[in-house]
Amino acid sequence: MENKTDILIIDDEKVILDAIQKIVSLDNFSSDACLDVDEALLKLETNTYKLIISDIMMPGKDGFQLLEILRQKKIATPVIITTGFSTLENAVKALYEGAIGFIPKPFTLDELVSIVARGLEYNKIFKNKYSLKARSMDELISYVPCPPKYYRLGFDSWLNNSSEGTIKIGLTDLYLKSINSIQSLDLMKVDEAIYQGGVCAKLTDNNELVHQLLSPASGKIIEINNQLFETNNLLEKDPYFQGWIYRIIPTDIENDKTNLTPCSSDF
Amino acid sequence: MLLFNKIGVKLMIAVSILVILILAVFAYFSIKFQSDILTAEVERHANQLSETIRQSTRFDMLANRREHLHNIINEIGKETSIRNVRVLNKEGEIIYSNLENEIGDMVDKNAESCYVCHAENQPLQKLTIKERTRIFRVNPDSARALGIINPIYNEISCWQADCHAHAKDKTVLGVLDISVSLKDIDETARKSSMSMLIYALIATLLIAIIIRLLVKHLIQKPIRNLVKATNYVAVGNLNYRISSTRKDELGVLANSFDNMTKKIAEMRMQLFQSDKMASMGKLAAGVAHEINNPLTGVLTYSSFLLKRAKDNPEMKADLEVIVRETKRSREIVKGLLDFARQSTPKRGKVEINEVIENALTIVSNQLKINHVELHKEFNKNITQISGDSNQIQQVILNLVVNSIDAIGSKGGTISIKTDQIKLSPYGIAQVRKATCPKGHDLMDEEHKINGRPSIKIKANSGNNEGFIHLDPIYGNHNHHYGIQFKKNEIIKLSCPQCNISLVDENELTPDCNAPAYKIIIPEQGVLKGCTRFGCNWQQWDVVDQSGEKNFVEIIISDTGSGIDNNDLEKIFDPFFSTKGQKGTGLGLSVIWGIVDNHNGKISVDSTLGKGTTFKIDLPV
């Protein structure tokens, strides 16, 4: 017996639950709100949601434990993690543990709307191919998985060793598919520093929604792929090779890799 | 330290003993050699004399003129250096002598003069000069004497003489024995050894003094400096440097010590910094979490409202302020986390006027509500300064909000003026390190004047003794006096640690001809000031010479309630607040920190009931 509620929201602060519910209702999405993970798990027993938005620090079980339980229960509903303790470490951990997005508090309406849109797209991709509760990438065929030898940060971005100790970073096909065709790309500049889990690019889609891409590694940008601006749809056509975004000198690649998923495990 | 434990004294004693030993050995051999030469000379002389007597008496003996012989011996015996002249016969009987009373005495054959020949009862006939000589003392306490015997051999003429006193078969007929006093030689030797001893003593003394001086200059002084330095470092003054210019081993040691202290200081600073960062990080994490949740409420609801207020431009503008400022708060919290991660601060070019305008937009409603009239007097040609515009905006915002609070609801005026000025270091430069001539640190981190560590010195007035805390800003005179002084009194100033006087009686100040006090500013010369109570003359040559610098000046003044004079010096202290429950007391201390981070200066001037003026000078 399934209801038609779209989004499950978990946060221990009522004001945030209300705010999120208000915002998603603007786009006519229905939502359920829970004050802790246990309550949410109860709801998940009976309902299937298109998207889950969860805080990290809550009384009882926390957001990471929720991700763990969902994995065990093979519930494929995409999860967006949000937290007031908005460190890069939490962002990286959330994506590594299987969340499809991370949105630090405090967020604006537009930021939330964008990430919710992306979350719902993920759900469509999962659902289109499989109606079963699968979470690992090899079960999804509608997009191109990242090549072996690559490492990825959640479903967001990838990195691959390039020449002379530099690495190239880019975004995954799955991330691209979750965005409704890119209209503009807002990149950082050469010599700027990027941090693992920090925003490294902003993509604006057809609906004027701005999506933030989190970097898979920390380092200094030494080259930007200008081909992206010269060749139409290069990113969409070849996100893993021609469509790389930055070449960087990593600060501590070995440490960064411990927070990444080897793409070889996807095959 | 015990006298005998000192290296100098030890070295002195060791070298002195060595010198004395060497000189003693040298003196012994030298005196012995001298004495031997003299003795040999006397010996030769005595032998010659003996030969002369033998030759000259030969004829008398042959002629057997005993009386004549006697006279000769007596005459010769009168010579002062000759002690005794005598002739013995073969049996040992003294037959002639200048000493009448021993004539006829028998000489023991074992006596010294006979022993050489009669040893082992085997009379020798031919003797070398050495063997015929002997040195003896008549009494143990009398002077030494040298005796020489000269055997008188039998000759043809002897047994053929008329007297027939000697038989033909005798070989030796008698012995001529002369003894000469060695008193003169002994006296010379004694004098020699005496002067040797004196020279040796003088030489030893000189060497000891030279060693003492050398040790003092080459070893003791640098070691004392090193010990002093280690003591400083031990009590935590890691800024102390020996700054030795010496090139020897101790100089190398001093330099290496300086280097070590520098490294320790850096390490401590790093430790301190990381410690601070760690606790700051914990605090930031907590604060971030606590603040971000309510901020989410504000930001989502306001952006939600903004979306719905599309058709209401007036409300839209207000909401945009809320959204913008909440985003700014978000940046501040993020900045806190960034700070905890010690990421680089967001330094950039700051357009001061623009920053002030931004700040004023935020409070424009509040200004209206409190009926505050705003006077803006901006210099449009201000150069950009390097800094964090967010932080500077926070400074302006805080000060304006304070002013609005001070004005209250009854209304008043806030005037904001910006200008570009050149400032002499007088009134700007801050003393951050100060020592007495002996190097004792005078800075008092506990006692702050306008939020800055003060300079603590001891002051005497009559029988009274107490401390003065000097304002660390060169040219500012918010000194704190611990004891009472009479008007125009000349104050005696000294170091609180070593009591060394800080006053130079020879240098008189130009204004009141009073002695000047001098405080050493390490690496930055000397700060001079007047010791007369109430005189504000100060001079800091090094800083004066560095010349004027460009500053951007922001003056924010209000016609509010003003600040009590007693509170004025505390307003920059953390957690000091007059707003009671309304404030945290952190605002002005944070402002002070921001201005200080920009190498700027903030000062306040206030009259109770009239208003307050804050002046901020930021270097271009």
For residues A195 and A244, state if they share a domain: yes
Residues A124 and A11 occupy one common structural domain: yes
A15 and A112 together in one domain = yes
**If you write DSSP's letter for every residue of B154-196 in order, what string do you get?**
--HHHHHSTT--S-TT-SEEEEEEEEEE-HHHHHHHHHHHHHH
Position A213 confidence tier, pLDDT thresholds 50, 70, 90: very high
Residue A146 lies in a domain: no
B238-343 belongs to CATH 1.10.287 = yes
Domain B346-423+548-619, classified CATH 3.20.20.70, yes or no:
no
Single-letter amino acid, residue B65:
R
Please check whether residue A2 lies inside any domain of the structure: no
Q: How confident is the model at residue A134 (pLDDT cuts 50, 70, 90)?
A: very low
Residues of A with CB under 8 A from a CB of B: 13, 15-16, 19-20, 22-23, 26, 57, 83-87, 104-110, 112
Amino acid letter for position B21 = L
Q: Does residue A261 sit within a domain?
A: yes
For residue A1, is it within any domain?
no
Residues A198 and A89 both lie in one domain: no
- Write the CATH number for A210: 2.40.50.100
Which residues of chain B have a CB within 8 Å of the CB of A109?
Answer: 300, 303-304, 306-307
What is the model's pLDDT at position B157?
A: 79
The strand pair at B611-619 and A246-250 is best described as unpaired
Residues A198 and A111 in one domain: no
Determine the pLDDT at residue B270.
60
Closest CA to B491 of B474, B475, B508, B503: B503
Rounded to an integer, what is the distance from CA B506 to the centroid of its chain?
25
Give the model's confidence band at A232: pLDDT under 50 very low, under 70 low, under 90 confident, else very high. Answer: confident
Q: What is the CATH number of the domain that holds A46?
A: 3.40.50.2300
Instruction: Tell me how far apart the 2 most distant CA atoms of chain B are, in Å.
Output: 181
**Start-to-end C-alpha separation, chain A:** 35
Shared-domain flag, residues A112 and A191: no
Is A74 part of a structural domain of the chain?
Answer: yes
What is the percent of chain A with per-residue pLDDT over 70, rounded to a whole number?
Answer: 93
The count of structural domains within chain A is 2
Say whether both A167 and A94 belong to one domain.
Answer: no
- Check: CB of residue A105 under 8 Å from CB of residue A77: no
* A190-204 tens-digit pLDDT: 877 788 898 999 999
Q: Pick the residue with more confidence: A110 or B124?
A: A110
Number of other CB atoms surrounding residue B345 within 10 Å: 14
Q: Which pLDDT score is estimated for B344?
A: 38
- The two counts, helices (H) then strands (E), for chain A are 9, 15
Q: Which of A130, A159, A174 is the last residue of a domain?
A: A130
In which band, very low, low, confident or very high, does the pLDDT at A177 lie, cut at 50, 70 and 90?
confident
- Domain limits at A209? 151-266
Q: Which residues of B105-133 are buried (b: 16+ CB within 10 A; e: fewer)?
A: eebeeeeebbebbbeeeeeeeeeeeeebb
Is residue A97 located within the same domain as residue A160?
no
CA–CA separation, B354 and B554 (whole Å): 13
Q: What pLDDT is attached to residue A187?
A: 92
pLDDT at B279: 67
Q: Is A181 found in the same domain as A233?
A: yes
In a domain, A141, yes or no: no
Q: Chain A partners of B300 at a C-beta cutoff of 8 Å?
A: 16, 19-20, 22-23, 106-109, 112
At residue B343, the pLDDT reads 36
Are A125 and A155 members of one domain? no
Does residue A121 sit in the same domain as residue A169? no
Residues sharing a CB contact under 8 Å with residue A228, sequence separation 6 or more, in sequence order = A185, A234, A235, A243, A245
Q: Is B194 exposed, middle or buried (0-12, 13-18, 19+ CB in 10 A)?
A: exposed
* Residue A91 falls inside a structural domain: yes
- Give the residues across from B179 on adjacent strands: B84, B147
CA proximity to B479, closest of B531, B540, B423: B531
A82 plus A126 within the same structural domain: yes
Query: For A99, phi and psi rounded to 5 degrees?
Result: -70, 150
Is the CB of A110 less than 8 angstroms away from the CB of B303? Answer: yes
Q: Residue A131: pLDDT band by 50, 70, 90 thresholds?
A: very low
Give tens-digit pLDDT for A50-95. 999 999 988 899 999 999 999 998 888 999 999 988 778 889 999 9
* pLDDT tens string B553-566: 999 999 988 888 87
Q: Is residue A135 part of a domain?
A: no
Q: Which two tokens stand for residue A65?
A: 């434990």
The verdict on a CB contact (< 8 Å) between B292 and A106 is yes
Closest Cβ–Cβ partner in A26, A105, A110 for B296: A105
- Select the more confidently predicted residue: A39 or B507: A39
Please report, for chain B, the start and end positions of each structural domain, with discontinuous segments joined by +. Answer: 12-188, 238-343, 346-423+548-619, 443-545
Assess contact for B207 and B112: CB atoms under 8 A.
no
Q: Which residues of A touch B289 (CB under 8 A)?
A: 57, 83-85
pLDDT at B532: 85
* Closest CB to A13 among B291, B293, B303: B293
Q: Provide the whole-model pTM.
A: 0.45
Task: Provide the pLDDT confidence category of residue A113 given band limits of 50, 70 and 90.
Answer: very high
Do A85 and B288 lie within an 8 Å CB cutoff?
yes
* Cα angle: B547, vertex B552, B556; to 5 degrees: 130
**Closest Cα of chain A to B306: distance in Å?**
9
Q: What is the pLDDT of residue B477?
A: 81
For chain B, list residues with pLDDT below 70: 1-4, 109-126, 164-165, 269-282, 285, 335, 337-348, 569, 573-587
In chain B, which residues have their Cβ closer than 8 Å to the Cβ of A26?
304, 307
- Which residues in chain B are contacts of A62 at CB distance < 8 A? none
Q: How far is A12 from chain B (nearest CA, A)?
A: 10
B300/A109 touch (CB, cutoff 8 Å), yes or no: yes
Q: What is the CA radius of gyration of chain B?
A: 54
What proportions of chain A, in percent to the nearest 5, are helix, strand and coil?
35, 25, 40
Topology of domain B12-188, per CATH?
Beta-Lactamase (3.30.450)
Cα gap A161→B160, rounded to integer Å: 141
